[in-house]
């Protein structure tokens, strides 16, 4: 994670102060590298799963964007490893077609009005395809020869594969000597989630990996942390004196963390049947957001300083029990067919597509403050946000006024698809009577910063090349997160019930009841509310 900060001012001018000269190593026509940022050191990036969706949709667009920013060294080499024979030229052409399709899609995070042929050619010239099985010694012998022939000794191995290949690939890399760092260069492993399916499997996977590599070499990736709006949580908290003094149990009533999707499982029925919404989202994505919003201030943005503070939060999470969790599954509704009608889903499936939980962090800052987490598919709107609900003020002052209730003060950190913040508070309605009315103050990134294509992996790849592990998960953080949900994953009294909810709704009624018994309610999750969030800037006066 880079340590630079940007002033909150428009950045669409051509000559912003402090912008460095064009990076000589970047592609012809590349944009100047960002202020204070320099190209990553030369390295060989080996991608296992070169023909997969992750490589096409996220890794290649991220590399393209980094090349346009001049943040890749001219000595970089990209080796793609996958099953099946094919020519490098064919792989390059396939990737280019995918990039062009994503660039033309207005709904894609990679959408851009102009596809830069020079930037892509710069990346394409560094691509080499290698056919090989992930569990074959020959694949790794061939790979070792290619790496030895490449300039420099810095290598990143990216495991963009299904989790069943994590252990055999790491084992083969270790046995082939490809993880040794005895030549002055670095050797790093990037591993996608799911990192285990429970505490026991996570411990087993960690132990296996650390049998061949040091912890400092392992970069466990969570793409949520690559989003600029997620990283800005730390800036909002720690760079503004108005927030940090009240960021504690004395002033905050509760927090709501939402990651809602309108799409279904999108042809991933086999994966979802084995995983479910709870495993897929709660102990990783949503816990990571909880860690960012709840952690104590680190002394610096040094990777270990930040990860130590997040690890403290995960360790302080009270173990969840059945009474703290609601699971749901979408049924036929306004948004379409039910989950059981999806391809590769059992007709009697009890896999959850919705999960909500009440979480407590037992430390001095947060004791007694509930964190309500929810995630789901086929919901009423697409939204990822953190809503910080402050405690209500004493009502006695307003007892003789027409005011029945006061609007709670809520600071909402909007992560996706709207990017920015919103604050709900109360003011006096104009007129002779003391009448209180709710208002909103909002900030939208698009009002201050130039919009650009960003898939969320750019920062993660760049930081990995630099050796900055701030945005990556450590073994202890992974294991303490799984430990907090162990009783939910392996309940003593049998599986937790899975309630139905209509596709296109706000989720199961039981989720509302989870908050209602505490005297609270979820923030509305209606399509018109989401549209209002996205159009806030246009409505400002």
Q: What kind and span of H or E run contains 423?
A: strand 420-428
Q: Which two tokens stand for residue 208?
A: 């296996």
- The alpha-helical segments, DSSP class H, found in 239-286 are 269-281
Which residue out of 254, 285, 389, 419 is catalytically annotated? 285
- For residues 133 and 480, give the distance between their C-alpha atoms in angstroms, rounded to a whole number: 34
Q: Is 215 annotated as a binding residue?
A: no
> DSSP letter string over 84-107?
S---HHHHHHHHHHHHHHHHH-TT
Instruction: Kindly give, in sequence order, each residue whose CB lies less than 8 Å from that of residue 287, ignoring residues fewer than 6 positions away.
Output: 314, 317, 481, 484
Q: Is 280 annotated as a binding residue?
A: yes
Q: Is 97 annotated as a binding residue?
A: no
- CA nearest neighbour of 461 among 281, 284, 292, 219: 219
Report whether the peptide linkage leading into residue 473 is cis, meaning its omega lies within 30 degrees of zero.
no
How far, in Å, are 253, 406, 424, 510 from residue 410 at the CA level? Answer: 10, 12, 5, 24
- For residues 253 and 42, give the distance between their C-alpha atoms in angstroms, rounded to a whole number: 49
Q: Is 287 annotated as a binding residue?
A: no
Q: Is 193 annotated as a binding residue?
A: yes
Q: Which two tokens stand for residue 156?
A: 């990143």
Instruction: Kindly give, in sequence order, each residue whose CB lies less than 8 Å from that of residue 137, ignoring residues fewer than 6 positions away.
Output: 172, 175, 176
Q: Is 96 annotated as a binding residue?
A: no
Q: Is 261 annotated as a binding residue?
A: yes
| Residue 83 designated active-site | no
Q: Is 167 annotated as a binding residue?
A: no
Feature table: binding site for NADP(+)? 133-134, 193
Catalytic residue numbers, as ranges: 285
Feature table: binding site? 133-134, 193, 223, 227, 261, 280, 377
Feature table: binding site for substrate? 223, 227, 261, 280, 377
């Amino acid at each position: 994670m880079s340590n630079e900060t940007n002033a909150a001012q428009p950045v669409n001018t051509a000559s912003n102060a402090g912008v460095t000269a064009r990076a000589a190593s970047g592609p012809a026509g590349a944009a100047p590298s960002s202020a204070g940022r320099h190209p990553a050191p030369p390295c060989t990036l080996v991608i296992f799963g070169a023909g997969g969706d992750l490589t096409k949709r996220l890794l290649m667009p991220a590399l393209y964007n980094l090349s346009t920013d001049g943040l890749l060294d001219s000595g970089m080499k990209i080796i793609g490893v996958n099953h099946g024979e094919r020519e490098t030229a064919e792989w390059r052409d396939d990737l280019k077609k995918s990039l062009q399709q994503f660039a033309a899609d207005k709904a894609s995070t990679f959408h851009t009005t102009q596809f830069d042929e020079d930037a892509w050619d710069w990346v394409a010239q560094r691509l080499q395809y290698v056919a090989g099985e992930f569990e074959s010694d020959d694949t790794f012998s061939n790979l070792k020869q290619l790496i030895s022939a490449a300039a420099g000794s810095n290598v990143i191995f990216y495991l963009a594969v299904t989790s069943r290949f994590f252990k055999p690939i790491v084992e083969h890399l270790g046995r082939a000597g490809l993880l040794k760092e005895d030549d002055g260069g670095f050797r790093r492993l990037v591993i996608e989630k799911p990192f285990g399916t429970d505490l026991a499997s996570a411990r087993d996977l960690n132990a296996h990996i650390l049998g061949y590599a040091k912890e400092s070499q392992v970069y466990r990736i969570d793409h949520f942390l690559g989003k600029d709006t997620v990283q800005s949580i730390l800036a909002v908290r720690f760079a503004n004196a108005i927030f940090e003094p009240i960021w504690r149990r004395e002033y905050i009533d509760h927090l709501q963390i939402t990651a809602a999707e309108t799409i279904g499982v999108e042809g991933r029925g086999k994966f979802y049947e084995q995983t479910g919404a709870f495993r897929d989202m709660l102990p990783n994505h949503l816990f990571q957001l909880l860690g960012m919003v709840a952690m104590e201030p680190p002394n610096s943005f040094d990777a270990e300083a930040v990860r130590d503070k997040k690890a403290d939060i995960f360790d302080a999470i009270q173990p969840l029990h059945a009474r703290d969790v609601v699971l749901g599954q979408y049924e036929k509704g306004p948004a379409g067919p039910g989950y059981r009608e999806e391809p590769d889903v059992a007709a009697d499936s009890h896999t959850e597509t919705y999960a909500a939980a009440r979480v407590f962090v037992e430390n001095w800052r947060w004791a007694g403050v509930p964190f309500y987490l929810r995630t789901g598919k086929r919901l009423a709107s697409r939204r990822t946000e953190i809503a910080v609900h402050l405690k209500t003020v004493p009502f006695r002052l307003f007892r003789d006024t027409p005011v029945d209730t006061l609007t709670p003060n809520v600071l909402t950190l909007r992560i996706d698809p709207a990017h920015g913040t919103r604050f709900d508070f109360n003011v006096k309605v104009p007129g002779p009577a003391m009448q209180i009315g709710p208002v909103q103050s909002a900030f939208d990134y698009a009002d201050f910063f130039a919009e650009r294509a960003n898939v969320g992996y750019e920062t993660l790849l760049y930081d990995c090349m630099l050796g900055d592990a701030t945005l990556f998960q450590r073994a202890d953080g992974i294991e303490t997160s799984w430990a907090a949900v162990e009783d939910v994953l392996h309940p003593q009294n049998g599986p937790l019930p899975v309630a139905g909810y209509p596709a296109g709704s706000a989720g199961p009624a039981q989720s509302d009841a989870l908050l209602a018994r505490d005297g609270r309610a979820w923030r509305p999750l209606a399509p018109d509310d989401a549209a209002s969030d996205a159009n806030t800037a246009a409505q400002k006066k």
